[in-house]
């Protein structure tokens, strides 16, 4: 690891880093910072928890101190919680500058944000949707002079997942100056390299950590093979064991849906585990409050959807449990990367059903790491199986009596309206697409069946012919 002064940082910044216990640059910082300070576009790909945030925050602060004005830098990030975390790094490291930063994310007061933007902050940290809304609806701020555009978790911002940022990005890029420095960072940058290169304008400096594996060595990666209906019993057993053995451990449990997140939280609370949740169907203020309580170790267990899988830096997290096996290796890399950060140790345990084994193989292929089986006393799990399943069912019934599903439907409709679509037309379109998909599937099956039949009858007649031939040969 390198010395910060030798990388071109001013003394005040080096001092600021020291105060935060950041004494030597990590490889991503050592390699990317000089290129950024030289004025080059940069793409940095390094493992989770390797200090990518400081790799862009520090050079931006250095340049800002040489020529301070607002708005100097725009950082885009896929989740609201991550925006707050990045803004905090800017605020802490940039304190001696009297840095003014502003956070523009969905779910928070738009008027207050518009006011903040009009005060020309030095740094704006935003999620694309809300910033694009401000650009569309207001002319009280300008981004025409920004010097830096940073895309943190850049591959997520550019992929077309369940939240598609591409339209909002177009709006944002449309108001930025062509002459700027563009910096892209992620632990999984290489998967969308070409799209990313199109955003970084001037032949970017590209740096990727050289390593055979894509997860950190300090992470002990495990799996438990379990039938679907025993999964929750394993989960309860694991948490009981961890909490019995360690006072200071925090655990993140990832699951696939908001509803599952809610049910598991209710269920673990029935077992008196200090559990809190984080998912996109919660009000934003509640999301922030829950995360703050988890960070402060008021609650030791956080159950989250993938809204928490990227970027969050919580040093007390010792264990990540995947309640479902992630469908994409990339998702797995980010989820398990919430532990074993900045050189610390951590454990990840993935619950795998017989239907997910192929997913584990593809995770192992991409990460170049073999997951090891996590030893569990099965007898202990079976002892609590009925109690756990009854408790889960009770929680499901309790949740069904609330308006959770209804809220979900309303949220979906709201989202469609915001995207300028008619929810009823969309529902009709979806139903038609589904019909076509089913038809296609039926057709495919029919063809396969008739091919199979044809093959079968060919084989039969061939066998008959051979029999006849043999009979004829025998009579001769």
Ligand X SMILES: Nc1ncnc2c1ncn2[C@@H]1O[C@H](COP(=O)(O)OP(=O)(O)OP(=O)(O)O)[C@@H](O)[C@H]1O
In the complex, least distance from residue 258 CB atom to ligand X, rounded to whole angstroms: 22
Cβ proximity to ligand X: between 87 and 263 the closer is 87
If DSSP states are collapsed to H, E and C, what string results for 147-167?
CEEEEECHHHHHCECCCECHH
Taking the least distance from each CB to ligand X, the nearer of 215 and 275 is 215
Q: Minimum distance between the CB of residue 255 and ligand X, rounded to whole angstroms?
A: 19
Q: Which is nearer to ligand X, 79 or 324 (CB)?
A: 79
Min separation Cβ 142 and ligand X, Å:
29
Residue of closest CB approach to ligand X = 51
Binding site for ligand X (CB under 6 A): 22, 24-26, 29, 46, 48-54, 187, 311, 313, 337, 341-342
Distance of alpha carbon 338 from alpha carbon 348, whole angstroms:
9
Closer CB to ligand X, residue 37 or residue 342? 342
Give the angle subtended at the CA of 81 by the CAs of 371 and 86, to the nearest 5°.
Answer: 95
CB nearer to ligand X: pick between 279 and 330: 330
Question: C-beta of 45: minimal distance to ligand X in Å?
Answer: 10
Closer by beta carbon to ligand X, 44 or else 106: 44
Cβ proximity to ligand X, 135 vs 314, nearer residue: 314
Task: Give the nearest distance from C-beta 232 to ligand X in angstroms.
Answer: 28
CA distance 144 to 457: 73
DSSP state of 371: P
Q: Beta 24-25 vs 2-3: how paired, if at all?
A: antiparallel
Minimum Å gap between C-beta 254 and ligand X is 14
CA distance 315 to 329: 23
Q: Could you give the CA distance from residue 295 to residue 315 in angstroms, rounded to a whole number?
A: 9
Beta bridge partners of 252: 302, 320
Q: How far is the CB of 17 from ligand X (least distance, A)?
A: 7
DSSP state of 399: H
Report the C-alpha gap between 32 and 7 in whole angstroms: 10
Question: In the sheet that 101-104 helps form, which strands lie side by side, from edge to edge?
Answer: 101-104, 123-126, 73-76, 148-152, 181-186, 42-45, 205-208
CA-closest candidate to residue 33, choices 10, 56, 61, 62:
56
Residue 278 DSSP class: E
Nearest to 69 by CA among 167, 3, 142, 150: 142
By beta-carbon proximity to ligand X, the closer residue of 18 and 464 is 18
Task: Return the sign of the alpha-carbon dihedral for residues 413, 417, 422, 425.
Answer: negative
Smallest distance from the beta carbon of 335 to ligand X, in angstroms? 10
What minimum distance in Å lies between the beta carbon of 156 and ligand X? 11
Compare residues 15 and 285 and give the one whose CB is closer to ligand X. Answer: 15
Give φ, ψ of 475 to 5 degrees: -70, -35
DSSP for 72-120, written as a single string? -EEEE-S-HHHHHHHHHHHHHHTGGGT--EEEE-TTS-HHHHHHHHHT-
In the block, which residue shows the tokens 């697409």? 433
**How many secondary structure helices (H) and strands (E) does the chain include?**
17, 16
In the complex, least distance from residue 81 CB atom to ligand X, rounded to whole angstroms? 12
Question: Which of 215, 325 has the CB closer to ligand X?
Answer: 215
Burial class (CB in 10 A: 0-12, 13-18, 19+), 124: buried
Nearer to ligand X (CB atom), residue 133 or residue 153 = 153
Q: Is 190 helix (H, G, I), strand (E, B) or coil?
A: helix
Is 237 or 295 the residue whose CB approaches ligand X more closely?
A: 295
Gap between the Cα atoms of 258 and 242, Å rounded: 25
Give least dist CB 340 to ligand X, A. Answer: 10
Whole-number minimum distance, CB 313 to ligand X, in Å?
4
Helices 52-66 and 80-93: crossing angle, nearest 10°? 50
């Amino acid at each position: 690891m390198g010395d910060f002064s030798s990388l071109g940082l001013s003394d005040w910044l080096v001092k600021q880093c020291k105060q935060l216990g950041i004494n030597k640059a990590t490889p991503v910082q050592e390699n990317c910072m000089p290129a950024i300070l030289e004025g080059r576009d940069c793409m940095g790909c390094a493992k989770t928890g390797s200090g990518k945030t400081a790799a862009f925050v520090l050079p931006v602060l250095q340049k800002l101190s040489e020529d301070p004005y607002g708005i100097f830098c725009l950082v885009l990030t896929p989740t609201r919680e991550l925006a707050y975390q990045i803004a905090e790094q800017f605020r802490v490291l940039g304190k001696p500058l009297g840095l003014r930063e502003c956070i523009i994310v969905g779910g928070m007061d738009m008027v207050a944000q518009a006011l903040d933007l009009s005060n020309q902050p030095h740094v704006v940290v935003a999620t694309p949707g809300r910033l694009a809304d401000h650009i569309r609806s207001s002319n009280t701020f300008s981004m025409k002079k920004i010097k830096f555009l940073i895309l943190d978790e850049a591959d997520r911002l550019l992929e077309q997942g369940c939240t598609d940022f591409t339209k909002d990005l177009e709006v944002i890029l449309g108001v930025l100056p062509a002459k700027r420095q563009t910096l892209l960072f992620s632990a999984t940058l290489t998967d969308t390299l070409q799209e990313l290169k199109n955003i970084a304008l001037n032949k970017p400096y590209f740096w990727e950590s050289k390593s055979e594996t894509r997860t950190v060595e300090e992470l002990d990666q495990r799996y438990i093979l379990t039938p679907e209906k025993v999964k929750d019993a394993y989960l309860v057993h694991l948490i009981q064991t961890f909490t019995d053995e360690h006072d200071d451990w925090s655990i993140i449990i990832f699951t696939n849906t908001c509803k599952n997140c809610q049910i598991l939280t209710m269920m673990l609370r029935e077992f008196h585990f200090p559990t809190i949740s984080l998912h996109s169907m919660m009000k934003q203020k509640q999301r922030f409050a829950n995360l703050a309580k988890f960070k402060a170790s008021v609650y030791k267990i956080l159950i989250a959807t993938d809204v928490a899988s990227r970027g969050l830096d919580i040093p007390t997290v010792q264990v990540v449990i995947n309640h479902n096996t992630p469908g994409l290796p990339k998702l797995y890399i980010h989820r398990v990367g919430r532990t074993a950060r900045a050189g610390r140790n951590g454990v990840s345990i993935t619950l795998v059903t017989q239907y997910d084994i192929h997913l584990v193989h593809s995770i192992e292929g991409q990460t170049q790491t073999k997951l090891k089986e996590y030893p569990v006393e099965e007898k202990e799990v079976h002892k609590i199986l009925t109690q756990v399943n009854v408790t889960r069912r009770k929680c499901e019934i309790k949740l069904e009596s609330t308006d959770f599903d209804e809220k979900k439907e309303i949220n979906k409709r709201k989202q469609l309206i915001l995207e300028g679509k008619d929810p009823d037309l969309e529902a009709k379109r979806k139903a038609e697409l589904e019909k076509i998909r089913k038809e296609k599937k039926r057709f495919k099956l029919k063809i396969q069946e008739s091919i199979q039949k044809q093959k079968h009858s060919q084989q039969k007649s061939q066998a008959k012919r051979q029999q006849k031939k043999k009979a004829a040969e025998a009579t001769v």
